[in-house]
Amino acid sequence: MMTIRPATLDDRAALLGLVAAQANFTEDEKKIDGEVIDDSLLGRDDYRLLIADVESGELLAFVCYGPIPMTERSFDLYWIATAPAHARRGIAPRLLAAMEEELGGSVVYVDTSSTAGYARARAFYEKNGYRIAARLQDFYKPGDDRVIYRKEL
């Protein structure tokens, strides 16, 4: 049976392992994600982490999000990732729904890349009701646009 719960310090190694297993994350993204995980777990920032796990303690997926500074009800969804062995089993939508339930009445923004490696991520957000709010051409590098999604909860 799958459980969705806030992450704890005991989950750190599994979270970092799941990040390392993401084929579409660049090395820079993996490094930053590790820093964000540590900041969240140690209470050094407003980042929040929800994880999906099973009774055996195996980490299936996580979502990282937090309030956008100087806004009243806006949140950034920084990362959502599923363990490769458990991908495409409906875990990520359930985790996303748990985050959205917690943030009800807010607006969630998600930034992603326009490259082919992020096509599945863009399709996932669109399937779950997120709509493109902006596209910043050549943001990350030439030919790699920043695609910003938005969903009002």
The CATH number that applies at residue 102 is 3.40.630.30
The one-letter amino acid code at 11 reads D
Q: What is the pLDDT of residue 1?
A: 85
Tell me, what's the pLDDT at 147?
98
Q: What is the pTM of this model?
A: 0.89
Confidence at residue 87, expressed as pLDDT on a 0 to 100 scale: 85
Structurally, the chain folds into a number of domains equal to 1
User: How many whole angstroms separate alpha carbon 19 and alpha carbon 79?
Assistant: 10
pLDDT at 22: 84
Q: Give the CA distances from residue 127 to residues 31, 62, 67, in Å, rounded to whole numbers and listed in that order.
A: 28, 18, 23
Which residue carries 């303690």 as its tokens? 57
- The answer to whether 100 and 108 have CB atoms below 8 angstroms apart is yes
| pLDDT tens for each residue of the chain, 153 residues long | 899 999 999 999 999 988 888 887 888 888 888 888 988 998 888 899 999 987 777 899 999 999 999 999 999 999 898 988 888 889 999 999 999 999 999 999 999 999 998 999 999 999 999 999 999 999 999 999 999 999 999
pLDDT at 113: 94
In which domain, by residue range, is 40 found? Answer: 2-152
Note every long-range contact of 143-148, with CB atoms under 8 Å and residues 24 or more positions apart, other chains counting: 143/115, 144/113, 144/114, 144/115, 145/113, 145/114, 146/111, 146/112, 146/113, 146/114, 147/111, 147/112, 147/113, 147/114, 147/118, 147/122, 148/109, 148/110, 148/111
Beta pairing class for 131-141 and 59-67: unpaired
